[in-house]
A and B are shown apart, each in its own frame.
Chain A
Amino acid sequence: MIPDLGKYAVTVLSSYGASLVLLALLVAVTLWRGRKVRADMAELENRLKTKANRDG
Protein backbone atom coordinates (compact mmCIF):
# COMPACT_ATOMS: atom_id res chain seq x y z
CA MET A 1 0.00 0.00 0.00
CA ILE A 2 2.38 2.69 -1.22
CA PRO A 3 0.92 6.18 -0.80
CA ASP A 4 0.40 8.27 -3.91
CA LEU A 5 3.73 10.01 -4.40
CA GLY A 6 2.63 11.82 -7.54
CA LYS A 7 5.27 13.06 -9.98
CA TYR A 8 8.03 12.65 -7.37
CA ALA A 9 7.56 8.89 -6.91
CA VAL A 10 10.92 8.03 -8.52
CA THR A 11 12.70 10.69 -6.45
CA VAL A 12 11.27 9.52 -3.12
CA LEU A 13 11.56 5.78 -3.80
CA SER A 14 15.13 6.04 -5.10
CA SER A 15 16.13 8.03 -1.98
CA TYR A 16 14.64 5.38 0.29
CA GLY A 17 16.10 2.55 -1.80
CA ALA A 18 19.63 3.98 -1.86
CA SER A 19 19.61 4.85 1.86
CA LEU A 20 18.21 1.52 3.04
CA VAL A 21 20.66 -0.42 0.86
CA LEU A 22 23.58 1.59 2.29
CA LEU A 23 22.35 1.09 5.88
CA ALA A 24 21.82 -2.65 5.30
CA LEU A 25 25.30 -2.97 3.77
CA LEU A 26 26.87 -1.14 6.71
CA VAL A 27 25.16 -3.41 9.27
CA ALA A 28 25.89 -6.57 7.23
CA VAL A 29 29.60 -5.76 6.77
CA THR A 30 29.89 -4.84 10.46
CA LEU A 31 28.34 -8.14 11.60
CA TRP A 32 30.24 -10.23 9.02
CA ARG A 33 33.63 -8.77 10.03
CA GLY A 34 32.78 -9.07 13.73
CA ARG A 35 31.96 -12.79 13.37
CA LYS A 36 35.05 -13.43 11.25
CA VAL A 37 37.36 -11.76 13.78
CA ARG A 38 35.72 -13.72 16.65
CA ALA A 39 36.23 -16.99 14.76
CA ASP A 40 39.85 -16.10 13.92
CA MET A 41 40.53 -15.25 17.56
CA ALA A 42 38.98 -18.50 18.84
CA GLU A 43 41.01 -20.51 16.33
CA LEU A 44 44.25 -18.72 17.27
CA GLU A 45 43.66 -19.15 21.00
CA ASN A 46 42.93 -22.87 20.49
CA ARG A 47 46.09 -23.27 18.46
CA LEU A 48 48.20 -21.51 21.10
CA LYS A 49 46.59 -23.59 23.88
CA THR A 50 47.28 -26.84 22.00
CA LYS A 51 50.85 -25.77 21.36
CA ALA A 52 51.38 -24.83 25.03
CA ASN A 53 50.00 -28.22 26.18
CA ARG A 54 52.21 -30.07 23.68
CA ASP A 55 55.32 -28.17 24.78
CA GLY A 56 54.47 -28.94 28.39
Chain B
Amino acid sequence: MSLWEYANPKKFLTTSERVLPVFWWLSGACIVIGLIWGFFFTPDDYRQGSTVKIIYLHVPSALMAINAWLMMLVASLIWLIRRHHVSALAARAAAPVGATMTVIALVTGAIWGQPMWGTWWAWDPRLTSFLILFLFYLGYIALWSAIEDPDTAADLTSVLCLVGSVFAILSRYAVNFWNQGLHQGASVMRAGAITGTDTEEKVSNIFFFPLMVCMVGFVLLFIALVLYRTGTEIRARRIRALMARERMAA
Protein backbone atom coordinates (compact mmCIF):
# COMPACT_ATOMS: atom_id res chain seq x y z
CA MET B 1 0.00 0.00 0.00
CA SER B 2 1.45 3.31 -1.11
CA LEU B 3 1.14 6.71 0.55
CA TRP B 4 0.16 8.15 -2.83
CA GLU B 5 -3.15 6.25 -2.68
CA TYR B 6 -4.33 9.02 -0.36
CA ALA B 7 -3.86 11.48 -3.20
CA ASN B 8 -7.16 10.06 -4.44
CA PRO B 9 -9.83 12.37 -2.91
CA LYS B 10 -12.32 9.52 -2.39
CA LYS B 11 -9.74 7.35 -0.62
CA PHE B 12 -8.64 10.33 1.47
CA LEU B 13 -12.21 11.11 2.54
CA THR B 14 -13.10 7.54 3.53
CA THR B 15 -9.84 7.02 5.45
CA SER B 16 -9.92 10.41 7.19
CA GLU B 17 -13.54 9.92 8.29
CA ARG B 18 -12.56 6.62 9.85
CA VAL B 19 -9.61 8.00 11.84
CA LEU B 20 -10.96 11.48 12.67
CA PRO B 21 -12.96 10.53 15.82
CA VAL B 22 -9.78 9.03 17.32
CA PHE B 23 -7.84 12.26 16.72
CA TRP B 24 -10.68 14.48 18.03
CA TRP B 25 -11.05 12.51 21.26
CA LEU B 26 -7.33 11.97 21.88
CA SER B 27 -6.50 15.63 21.25
CA GLY B 28 -9.34 16.81 23.51
CA ALA B 29 -8.29 14.41 26.25
CA CYS B 30 -4.60 15.39 26.08
CA ILE B 31 -5.32 19.14 26.06
CA VAL B 32 -7.82 18.93 28.93
CA ILE B 33 -5.54 16.66 31.02
CA GLY B 34 -2.41 18.70 30.24
CA LEU B 35 -4.04 22.05 31.03
CA ILE B 36 -5.71 20.83 34.24
CA TRP B 37 -2.44 19.20 35.35
CA GLY B 38 -0.42 22.32 34.53
CA PHE B 39 -2.88 24.87 35.88
CA PHE B 40 -4.01 23.17 39.09
CA PHE B 41 -1.25 20.76 40.06
CA THR B 42 2.07 22.47 39.34
CA PRO B 43 3.76 24.99 41.66
CA ASP B 44 4.75 28.55 40.84
CA ASP B 45 8.21 29.15 39.41
CA TYR B 46 10.64 30.80 41.82
CA ARG B 47 11.26 33.68 39.38
CA GLN B 48 8.18 33.85 37.15
CA GLY B 49 5.62 33.13 39.85
CA SER B 50 2.29 31.84 38.56
CA THR B 51 2.93 33.21 35.04
CA VAL B 52 4.85 29.97 34.38
CA LYS B 53 1.43 28.38 33.83
CA ILE B 54 1.22 30.25 30.51
CA ILE B 55 3.84 27.91 28.99
CA TYR B 56 1.20 25.16 28.68
CA LEU B 57 -0.48 27.25 25.99
CA HIS B 58 2.38 29.40 24.68
CA VAL B 59 4.92 26.66 23.90
CA PRO B 60 2.53 24.17 22.17
CA SER B 61 0.94 26.92 20.07
CA ALA B 62 4.35 28.31 19.05
CA LEU B 63 5.48 24.78 18.19
CA MET B 64 2.42 24.24 15.99
CA ALA B 65 2.67 27.70 14.39
CA ILE B 66 6.07 26.72 12.96
CA ASN B 67 5.25 23.06 12.26
CA ALA B 68 2.01 23.97 10.46
CA TRP B 69 4.02 26.03 8.00
CA LEU B 70 6.53 23.19 7.56
CA MET B 71 3.62 20.80 6.87
CA MET B 72 2.30 23.31 4.31
CA LEU B 73 5.79 23.41 2.77
CA VAL B 74 5.86 19.61 2.31
CA ALA B 75 2.31 19.62 0.89
CA SER B 76 3.18 22.51 -1.46
CA LEU B 77 6.29 20.71 -2.71
CA ILE B 78 4.18 17.59 -3.38
CA TRP B 79 1.75 19.76 -5.35
CA LEU B 80 4.51 21.44 -7.35
CA ILE B 81 6.29 18.16 -8.12
CA ARG B 82 3.48 15.59 -8.41
CA ARG B 83 0.38 17.77 -8.98
CA HIS B 84 -1.79 15.98 -6.41
CA HIS B 85 -4.81 18.19 -5.67
CA VAL B 86 -5.31 16.77 -2.18
CA SER B 87 -1.87 17.98 -1.09
CA ALA B 88 -2.57 21.53 -2.32
CA LEU B 89 -5.92 21.48 -0.51
CA ALA B 90 -4.29 20.12 2.65
CA ALA B 91 -1.85 23.06 2.62
CA ARG B 92 -4.79 25.45 2.18
CA ALA B 93 -6.66 23.74 5.02
CA ALA B 94 -3.67 24.03 7.39
CA ALA B 95 -3.11 27.77 6.92
CA PRO B 96 -5.93 29.14 9.15
CA VAL B 97 -4.98 26.60 11.83
CA GLY B 98 -1.34 27.73 11.71
CA ALA B 99 -2.40 31.39 11.72
CA THR B 100 -4.54 30.85 14.83
CA MET B 101 -1.67 29.06 16.58
CA THR B 102 0.61 32.00 15.71
CA VAL B 103 -1.91 34.47 17.17
CA ILE B 104 -2.17 32.41 20.37
CA ALA B 105 1.64 32.30 20.68
CA LEU B 106 1.93 36.07 20.06
CA VAL B 107 -0.92 37.01 22.41
CA THR B 108 0.15 34.74 25.30
CA GLY B 109 3.75 35.87 24.80
CA ALA B 110 2.72 39.54 24.96
CA ILE B 111 0.56 39.01 28.06
CA TRP B 112 3.43 37.13 29.75
CA GLY B 113 6.01 39.69 28.60
CA GLN B 114 4.28 42.66 30.20
CA PRO B 115 4.97 41.69 33.85
CA MET B 116 8.19 39.72 33.13
CA TRP B 117 9.99 41.98 30.65
CA GLY B 118 8.11 45.17 31.44
CA THR B 119 6.79 45.43 27.88
CA TRP B 120 4.08 43.85 25.74
CA TRP B 121 6.33 43.77 22.69
CA ALA B 122 10.00 44.07 21.77
CA TRP B 123 11.61 43.94 18.33
CA ASP B 124 13.47 40.84 19.40
CA PRO B 125 14.61 38.42 16.61
CA ARG B 126 12.22 35.62 17.61
CA LEU B 127 9.23 37.87 18.19
CA THR B 128 9.81 39.77 14.97
CA SER B 129 10.25 36.61 12.86
CA PHE B 130 7.06 35.24 14.43
CA LEU B 131 5.15 38.39 13.52
CA ILE B 132 6.45 38.13 9.93
CA LEU B 133 5.39 34.45 9.89
CA PHE B 134 1.88 35.57 10.90
CA LEU B 135 1.85 38.10 8.05
CA PHE B 136 2.90 35.30 5.67
CA TYR B 137 -0.05 33.21 6.93
CA LEU B 138 -2.42 36.12 6.20
CA GLY B 139 -0.87 36.64 2.75
CA TYR B 140 -1.13 32.92 1.99
CA ILE B 141 -4.84 32.78 2.98
CA ALA B 142 -5.60 35.99 1.05
CA LEU B 143 -3.81 34.73 -2.08
CA TRP B 144 -5.85 31.49 -2.10
CA SER B 145 -9.06 33.54 -1.88
CA ALA B 146 -8.02 36.12 -4.45
CA ILE B 147 -7.40 33.74 -7.39
CA GLU B 148 -10.37 32.05 -9.01
CA ASP B 149 -8.57 29.25 -10.87
CA PRO B 150 -7.69 26.69 -8.18
CA ASP B 151 -4.61 25.31 -9.97
CA THR B 152 -3.11 28.78 -10.46
CA ALA B 153 -3.92 29.60 -6.83
CA ALA B 154 -2.21 26.38 -5.72
CA ASP B 155 0.87 27.20 -7.82
CA LEU B 156 1.24 30.75 -6.53
CA THR B 157 0.52 29.92 -2.90
CA SER B 158 3.04 27.07 -3.08
CA VAL B 159 5.73 29.51 -4.19
CA LEU B 160 4.71 31.89 -1.38
CA CYS B 161 4.93 28.98 1.03
CA LEU B 162 8.52 28.23 -0.10
CA VAL B 163 9.50 31.86 0.52
CA GLY B 164 7.73 31.95 3.90
CA SER B 165 9.58 28.83 5.02
CA VAL B 166 12.63 31.00 5.59
CA PHE B 167 10.71 32.82 8.34
CA ALA B 168 9.28 29.61 9.77
CA ILE B 169 12.85 28.32 10.19
CA LEU B 170 14.06 31.72 11.43
CA SER B 171 11.25 31.73 14.04
CA ARG B 172 12.61 28.47 15.38
CA TYR B 173 16.33 29.30 15.30
CA ALA B 174 16.34 33.13 15.57
CA VAL B 175 17.64 32.96 19.14
CA ASN B 176 20.57 30.79 18.00
CA PHE B 177 21.36 32.88 14.90
CA TRP B 178 21.32 36.24 16.70
CA ASN B 179 22.42 35.80 20.25
CA GLN B 180 20.53 38.87 21.43
CA GLY B 181 17.03 39.99 22.35
CA LEU B 182 14.75 39.22 25.24
CA HIS B 183 13.36 35.83 24.25
CA GLN B 184 15.12 32.89 25.90
CA GLY B 185 16.67 30.06 23.91
CA ALA B 186 15.24 26.54 23.66
CA SER B 187 14.86 24.98 27.07
CA VAL B 188 12.22 22.33 26.44
CA MET B 189 13.18 20.12 23.50
CA ARG B 190 16.97 20.03 23.91
CA ALA B 191 18.25 16.47 24.10
CA GLY B 192 20.46 17.38 27.02
CA ALA B 193 17.58 19.01 28.82
CA ILE B 194 15.62 15.76 28.69
CA THR B 195 18.47 13.41 29.58
CA GLY B 196 19.81 15.72 32.25
CA THR B 197 23.30 15.94 30.70
CA ASP B 198 22.86 19.56 29.64
CA THR B 199 24.70 22.13 31.71
CA GLU B 200 22.43 25.01 30.63
CA GLU B 201 19.21 25.86 32.43
CA LYS B 202 16.38 23.50 31.56
CA VAL B 203 12.69 23.15 32.27
CA SER B 204 12.10 21.24 35.48
CA ASN B 205 10.35 17.88 35.14
CA ILE B 206 7.44 19.13 37.23
CA PHE B 207 6.61 21.57 34.42
CA PHE B 208 7.98 19.42 31.59
CA PHE B 209 5.57 16.45 31.84
CA PRO B 210 2.27 18.39 31.72
CA LEU B 211 3.82 20.53 28.99
CA MET B 212 4.56 17.39 26.94
CA VAL B 213 0.93 16.25 27.34
CA CYS B 214 -0.25 19.67 26.08
CA MET B 215 2.20 19.54 23.16
CA VAL B 216 0.95 16.07 22.14
CA GLY B 217 -2.62 17.40 22.44
CA PHE B 218 -1.89 20.36 20.17
CA VAL B 219 -0.20 18.11 17.57
CA LEU B 220 -3.22 15.77 17.56
CA LEU B 221 -5.65 18.72 17.41
CA PHE B 222 -3.72 20.11 14.44
CA ILE B 223 -3.94 16.74 12.65
CA ALA B 224 -7.69 16.46 13.38
CA LEU B 225 -8.38 20.00 12.18
CA VAL B 226 -6.31 19.60 9.01
CA LEU B 227 -7.90 16.24 8.13
CA TYR B 228 -11.40 17.66 8.66
CA ARG B 229 -10.70 20.91 6.82
CA THR B 230 -9.04 19.09 3.91
CA GLY B 231 -12.21 16.99 3.55
CA THR B 232 -14.21 20.23 3.49
CA GLU B 233 -11.91 21.71 0.82
CA ILE B 234 -12.24 18.54 -1.30
CA ARG B 235 -16.05 18.76 -1.12
CA ALA B 236 -16.02 22.51 -1.86
CA ARG B 237 -13.87 21.83 -4.93
CA ARG B 238 -16.29 19.11 -6.05
CA ILE B 239 -19.21 21.57 -5.64
CA ARG B 240 -17.42 24.12 -7.84
CA ALA B 241 -16.78 21.44 -10.49
CA LEU B 242 -20.41 20.23 -10.45
CA MET B 243 -21.76 23.78 -10.66
CA ALA B 244 -19.45 24.54 -13.59
CA ARG B 245 -20.70 21.38 -15.32
CA GLU B 246 -24.31 22.38 -14.61
CA ARG B 247 -23.71 25.84 -16.10
CA MET B 248 -22.10 24.32 -19.21
CA ALA B 249 -25.07 21.99 -19.69
CA ALA B 250 -27.62 24.80 -19.35
Chain A residues within 8 Å of B, Cβ to Cβ: 1, 3-9, 11-12, 14-16, 18-19, 22-23, 25-27, 30-31, 33-34, 37-38, 40-41, 44-45, 48
Contact = CB atoms under 8 A, between A and B. Distances in A.
Contacts of A44: 239, 242-243, 246
Q: Interface range on chain B: under 10, 10 to 19, 20 to 34, or 35 or more?
A: 35 or more
B158 to A, nearest CB: 23
Q: Which label, helix, strand, loop or mixed, suits the secondary structure of the A interface?
A: helix
Interface of B: 35, 39-40, 44, 49-51, 53-54, 57-58, 61, 96-97, 100, 103-104, 107-108, 111-112, 114-115, 221, 225, 228-229, 231-232, 235-236, 238-239, 242-243, 246
B96 A18 contact: no
A30 B108 contact: no
A48 to B, nearest CB: 7
B57 A11 contact: no
A6 B49 contact: yes
Given A12-B50, A23-B104, A34-B231, A6 B111 contact: no
Contacts of B221: 23
Contacts of B231: 34
